[in-house]
Structure 1
Amino acid sequence: MADKKLHIVMFPWLAFGHIFPYLELANLIAQKGHLISFVSTPRNIQRLPKLPPNVASHLQLIELPLPKLHNLPDNAEATTDVPYNVVHLLKKAYDALEPPLTSFLESSNPDWIFYDFAPYWVGPLASKLGIKTVFFSIFTAPTMGFLGSPSDLMGTDPIRKKPENFLVPPPWVPFPTTVAFRYFEIMRLSDSLSDDNDSGVSDAYRFGATIQNCDIVAVRSCSEFEPEWIQVMENIYQKPVLPVGQLPSTTYDDDDEEKKNDTWRWMKDWLDQQRKGTVVYVAFGSEAKPSQEEVREIALGLEKSGLPFFWVLRIQRGPYDEDVLKLPDGFEDRIRGRGVVCTSWAPQLKILGHESVGGFLTHSGWTSVVEAIQNSKPLVLLTYLSDQGLNARVLEEKRMGYSIPRDERDGSFTSDSVAESLRLVMVEEEGRIYRDKIKEVKDLFVNRERQNSVTKGIQSTDC
């Protein structure tokens, strides 16, 4: 059975923080000769990079048009296209993909489907069609272990009924850990725990039903890095858990490569002029958007740090976001020559790979964390949404990252704390531990032999 070639469908949620890890895993599996049908909406498929030649014949891109909904803007097919308060409408439209996905599965007859947390309805659908199912979690093992069992997530047997219950490790974690939310983090997630939205289904329920109805849980993790958390997942799910590695990002060619090369050229020219290991790279991913007050404190903190910096600032979430962020008055004049603020696309992997970059101020999204570790860049952490708080606790616990001190209730922070945190991690002797630890764990994250073994568990289960 080891030589059997499988047909696997991949169906990620409509967020690029989900789509790209799915694409990385799809590439790894396709390299072994299996056929992958990667399913998303037309605009998201069009925004994917050009596939590498060695997998193009084994990886087909399948477009399912997203149904139009009242109040969901035209061409809004990913979370990056809409303000945060409109994402629930995107989930409602995504749920309406069930009939066309059913038709595709019936006609293509795949062996497996890998699906995300949002389409909680895929498990029963695939079972009815005789297709084996994998819930592939782009969230890490500590996050999934902390969130709990399907019954707890679906609300049929909840142990945690108040926000305060999420501020400590749950009772099913049998070892000492600091992995838990801070108060401001869980309060920013309160809407995810409620089904009072236009989709009618909470994120917590989606997670629970997805886990309950799949055959295998695959998780973005490796047993050498967090074996105790993988065991927690197996204990609470009572089904196989398959760690697929950290999925380090690949640099792809692109149809728009010439334009992007021009953009990278001026960025590289600026980075080349800076001293080795001195530049702070600042970016918060495609989901997180700071408040106006937070932008002010970050800007003034960068200024006070005295360090050169390259800041990729997302001033709005899509063209329909009316809350456009602004920099403090006079800031750009005062930092001219020492800092760059980029409000458009930037090649994060290339920037992190430049020798002048000495540290990364990040939201703790796991893809960004992995890319920093790929390039041995120490981490300063400033969380905003979703699993980022739990990721930050893991990084703090392992001394791989340092969180900017914040008010526990509202999450506010000062420009002084930003400046002090950056200098601690990048310059001061006291922060050497963070610079050294990132280098120590690099092999666990980027070792290609580990990544190339990701299909073994699937094939043995298929037998």
Structure 2
Amino acid sequence: MLINGTDPRSKAEDFMVPPKWVAFQTKVVYKIHETNSVLRIVNPNVSGVSDAYRVGMMTRDSDAVIVRHCLKLLNEIHPTPVMPLGLVPPHSRIDNKIDDEMNDEAWFPIKEWLNGQNRASVLYVALGSEVPPSQTDISELALELSGVPFFWVLRKPPGFSESESVQLPDKFKERVQDKQLGIEVARSGQDGSYSRNSVAQTIRSIMVKEEGKIIRDKAKEMSGVAGNKELHDAYINKFLELLGLIS
């Protein structure tokens, strides 16, 4: 498909509907602001071929495709075997001795605060581990406007320096302390930007309102998969076995 050009999509609107080669019903499509980057990949560039073609050639000549998720569709559309690698979180001291966890000065107040919150009431927000948010993105999140207690982890991708860090919104800590606060956000159709009000509305919809119950239930269901250490260890072991076979 990537190599022989059987995917006829070449215009922005082609990517805003489900592709014909997806046999099941889905609402997952590209938004208008996402299509520009996709078109740069699928259309030929100055070299005479597209980046999608290059990916297809690389996939065809590989022994296997390793992905972090397990998607049956990938096995159906790729001639090369597709193997899930599973969740590979960074090493944490929490995985070690319980005493180390209890004596961690940074973790103890966090755990104490979390234990003081109602069950399933805290929103966990983790940003920046792969794609660093811009200063505008951080400022417009304005999580405290939602009125929902949250735990915010702001990371930097490996290789980013301190000078490339973004700052919390002005007087953010003061506002959060005063209030004792610790679905897809509506975006602009053209550039994908969002506003603080749309973020707050989305958070309330998911965390508080009845309409978000199905999402909360799904999150509980998925936590059993994400937290299944034996399952993800099995994925990694199979991957290591594959490396041994092809090395």
In the superposition, the TM-score normalised over structure 2's length comes to 0.72
1:214 aligns with 2:214: no
Alpha-carbon distance in structure 1 between the residues aligned to 2:162 and 2:52: 27
Q: Structure 1 stretches of 5 or more lacking a match?
A: 1-148, 341-401
Q: What residue number does 1:185 align with?
A: 34
SS at match of 2:34: helix
Q: What pairs up with 1:262-341 in 2 under 5 angstroms?
A: 262-299=105-142, 302-314=143-155, 318-319=160-161, 325-336=166-177, 338-339=180-181
How far did 1:174 drift?
2.3
SS at match of 2:106: helix
Alpha-carbon distance in structure 2 between the residues aligned to 1:266 and 1:192: 46
Alpha-carbon distance in structure 2 between the residues aligned to 1:312 and 1:453: 28
Cα distance 1:416–1:189, how it changes in 2: closer, same or farther (>3 A)? same
How far did 1:175 drift?
2.5
How far did 1:193 drift?
5.8
Q: Is the 8 A contact 1:248 1:445 kept in 2?
A: no
Count of paired positions = 234
Q: Deviations over 1:275-305 (max 9, x none)?
A: 4333222222322233333322211xx2221
Which structure shows the bigger proportion of residues in strand conformation?
1
Q: What residue number does 1:437 align with?
A: 218
Cα distance 1:333–1:267, how it changes in 2: closer, same or farther (>3 A)? same
How far did 1:211 drift?
0.8
Alpha-carbon distance in structure 2 between the residues aligned to 1:158 and 1:321: 43
Cα distance 1:325–1:275, how it changes in 2: closer, same or farther (>3 A)? same
How far did 1:188 drift?
5.0
In the superposition, the TM-score normalised over structure 1's length comes to 0.42
Q: What residue number does 2:11 align with?
A: 162
Alpha-carbon distance in structure 1 between the residues aligned to 2:223 and 2:126: 21
Q: What pairs up with 1:36-51 in 2 under 5 angstroms?
A: none
1:236 aligns with 2:236: no
How far did 1:213 drift?
0.6
Alpha-carbon distance in structure 2 between the residues aligned to 1:178 and 1:303: 30
- What is the aligned-residue identity percentage? 37
How far did 1:403 drift?
0.9
Alpha-carbon distance in structure 1 between the residues aligned to 2:38 and 2:129: 17
Q: What residue number does 1:417 align with?
A: 198
Cα distance 1:291–1:188, how it changes in 2: closer, same or farther (>3 A)? farther
1:426 aligns with 2:194: no
SS at match of 2:161: coil
1:151 aligns with 2:13: no
SS at match of 1:421: helix
Tell me the C-alpha RMSD between the 2 structures. 4.0
Q: Is the 8 A contact 2:60 2:80 kept in 1?
A: no
Q: What residue number does 1:405 align with?
A: 186
Q: Is the 8 A contact 1:150 1:211 kept in 2?
A: no
Cα distance 1:273–1:185, how it changes in 2: closer, same or farther (>3 A)? same
Cα distance 1:449–1:325, how it changes in 2: closer, same or farther (>3 A)? closer
